[in-house]
Structure 1
Amino acid sequence: MAITLTETAASRVRKFLDNRGKGVGLRLGVKTTGCSGMAYTLEFVDELHEEDLAFESHGVKVIIDPKSLVYIDGTELDFTKEGLNEGFKFNNPNVKGECGCGESFTV
Structure 2
Amino acid sequence: MLPILSIENLQCRYGEQVVIESVSFALQAGEIACLLGPSGCGKTTLLHAIAGFQPIAEGNIQLSGEVISSREKQIPAEQRKIGVVFQDYALFSHLTVEQNIAIGI
For the aligned pair, the TM-score class normalised by the smaller chain equals under 0.3
Which of the pair is proportionally richer in strand? Answer: 1
TM-score (normalised: structure 2): 0.24
Q: TM-score, normalised by structure 1?
A: 0.24
Q: Which has the higher contact order (CA 8 A, sep 6+)?
A: 1
